[in-house]
Structure 1
Amino acid sequence: MTTRTTDVATFPTHEDRFRLDGRTVFLSGAAGHLGRAMAIGFAQAGAHVILNGRTASKLQEFADELAAAGHSASIAAFDVMDRDAANAFLGGLDRLDVLVNNAITGLGPSASSSLEAFRAMVDSGLIASQDNVTNALPALEAAVAATGSASIINITSIWAHVSPTPSLYEGTGRLTPPQYAATKGGLLQLTRYLAVQLAPKKIRVNSLSPGIFPWDDITNNEPDFVERISQGSPMRRLGEACELTGPAVFLASDASTYMTGADLLIDGGWTAW
């Protein structure tokens, strides 16, 4: 009897393939705007989410919010630039199904372009990401042994692909500093490199490149800026944090088991023209 991979009775359901039940996700930068959104998405899909960031009280408050909603979360309060702390925590995990490198420092309207600021951002957003992979590798391999796969997701940016348009930011003080583009561009290429190197271990490595997803205070208090910057998108609007969760869960789950070395642009078409 011939076996068909498209047999209706045995074909995997979307509900099963997009679920993360029984899996553990480590998410750096979990207390930030997009970090919170991704954490909620992973938790809603059934994962236990380890919330990483620098401020324990903020992380614990978030973990309590998730628990109150019936989800599973714990905290890991350390700076990703603290190599000893990162190594001790990630290297001490028995199993890790999904590693999300999202943390970065030095953003905001007062962002400096000094050499010191440049180095700090590259350290937090690029070097620490590579270090996290190295430290978490045994735990990721344990996940492969248990389930057949593991996933690394690097959060890059549209500025890894194109340059900001200065006129859209004129007079706002919010033009993205050059080290951000350099860091995210490096992380995008690191994603491709690691995808090839880790494929034999059945560890997938992909990235998400968000467009502009403004913080709530900007959306609420700077409507003129939001309207101006929205003109950079063919959709004439900016992203809402919840719109990143679907792609993040997709890359973390079995719905993307044949994807590695890929980058998903979530930008409202910003890079399409």
Structure 2
Amino acid sequence: MTHAHALQLNCLNMFSLKNKVALLTGAAGHLGLFMAYGLGQAGAHLILNGRNESKLIELQGNLKAQAIESTILPFDITDSNLVREKIQYIERNFQHLDIIVNNAHSGRACDFQDATSEDFHRDYNVDVIATFELIKASLPLLKKAVSINEDASIINIASMYGMVSPDPRIYGDSKMNNPPHYGAAKAGLIQLTKYFACHLAKDRIRVNAISPGPFPVEEVLNSLTEFKDNLTSKVPMARTGHPIELQGPLLFLASKASSYVTGINLPVDGGWTAW
């Protein structure tokens, strides 16, 4: 980009995703719903992935009511054959892929004494191996996007618990204990982000991570008052996050507004990891 070209850019236009295609995994989940709206409102055509087709259809209908275009693509991202098949579908129908948001996760809450090796295998398979396979299969479409729009972005959704350990004192008897396999898998995802950022930089494909902090579902906040108080006591901003607060960071990393940003892990945690 020349200096003259840079001066002609409108700051707000840098955040636009118009004419871009974005694949969002885990699209119908607690955080994924708000990510879908954020990307769609910025102009992207959404490819919504998840394993629950009925939830994806419902989300697609709600997005359509806001004039947001989307395509549903329900499949299990841990099936590498299916991944390659669905990427071929995207190639046939869209020719390129500008943005991938790896948001899928599968796991269970438990104490470390109850965790099993199967838990570790499952979480690592979804968060790290499936992400690796999806990125690898998508490379030709990401490179095509670069040739068209001069930019492609991969955003991996990690966690503050991929950076620091959970404090067991805040969970008490809530049965909301964050398990060891969750943080281990998210830490692996952060490292994978840095690896791909360095190895894909030559292709002008940017790779970054977002590490959400405490974003509990509404039911938890309403039913477990003591747990909520313990949780917020760990946050410098003294409150939990709302999923809509992930839209800004996501849009920044997905758009040309972050054209010189790759390899970072952006905590969105109210300061949790700053203590």
| Same-fold call, TM cutoff 0.5 | yes
How big is the shift at 1:107?
3.3
Equivalent-residue separation in structure 2 for 1:49 and 1:109 (angstroms): 34
C-alpha separation between the residues in 2 aligned to 1:245 and 1:223?
27
2:174 aligns with: 172
Give the partner amino acid of 1:65.
Answer: N
Task: Show the 5 A alignment for 1:226-265.
Answer: 226-265=228-267
Distance between the aligned counterparts of 1:78 and 1:226, measured in 2? 34
Matched, 1:36 2:38: no
CA distance in 2, matches of 1:66, 1:114: 39
1:208 is matched with: 210
Could you say which residue in structure 2 is the equivalent of 1:80? 77
Q: TM-score, normalised by structure 1?
A: 0.94
Superposition pairs of residues 86-125 of structure 1, within 5 angstroms: 86-92=83-89, 93=91, 94-108=95-109, 113-125=115-127
C-alpha offsets along residues 96-142 of structure 1, whole Å, 9 cap, x if unaligned?
00011111101346996111111011101110000000111111111
Matched-pair identity in %:
42
Counterparts of 1:4 and 1:48, CA distance in 2:
30
What amino acid is the match of 2:66?
A: A
2:190 maps to which residue?
188
Q: Any runs of at least 4 consecutive aligned residues in structure 1 with deviations exceeding 4 A, and if so which?
A: 3-7, 108-112
The structure 2 residue matched to 1:161, chosen from 160, 163, 177, is 163
Alpha-carbon separation, structure 2, partners of 1:85 and 1:241: 29
SS across alignment from 1:33:
coil
| Secondary structure of 1:128 counterpart | helix
* Shift in Å, 1:5: 4.9
For residues 143-194 of structure 1, give each alpha carbon's deviation from its aligned partner in whole angstroms, at most 9, with x where no partner exists. Answer: 0111111000011111111100000011111111111111000110110110
- 1:20-58 deviation digits (Å, cap 9, x = unpaired): 011011011111111111111000101111110001111
Quick one: structure 1 residues 133 and 194, their matched pair in 2 at CA, closer, same or farther if it must change by over 3 Å?
A: same
- Separation in 2, partners of 1:270, 1:142: 38
Q: Distance in 1 between matches of 2:110 and 2:186?
A: 18
Aligned to 1:144: 146
Deviation readout 1:181-240 (Å, 9 max, x if unpaired) = 110001101101100100011100001011010112212322332122111101111111
Q: CA 1:59–1:246 in 2, change beyond 3 Å: closer, same or farther? A: same
* Worse-superposed segment, 216-225 or 195-204: 216-225
Contact 1:91/1:139 (CA < 8 Å) preserved in 2? no
1:19 and 2:21 are equivalent in the alignment: no
Q: Say if 1:152 and 1:203, in contact at 8 Å, map to a contact too.
A: yes
Aligned residue pairs total: 269
2:51 to 30, 50, 54: 54
Question: What 5-or-longer segments of structure 1 have no aligned partner?
Answer: none
Give, in whole Å, the separation in 1 of the partners of 2:170 and 2:226: 11
Instruction: Say whether the 8 Å CA contact 2:109–2:177 is kept in structure 1.
Output: no
Gaps of 5+ in 2: none
Counterparts of 1:146 and 1:267 in 2: how far apart (Å)? 35
CA distance in 2, matches of 1:110, 1:139: 41
Alignment TM-score, normalising by the size of structure 2: 0.94
Q: Is the 8 A contact 2:17 2:42 kept in 1?
A: yes
Cα distance in 2, alignment partners of residues 160 and 150 from structure 1: 25
Structure 1 residue 4: Cα displacement: 5.4
Report 1:59-70 matches (<5 A). Answer: 59-70=56-67
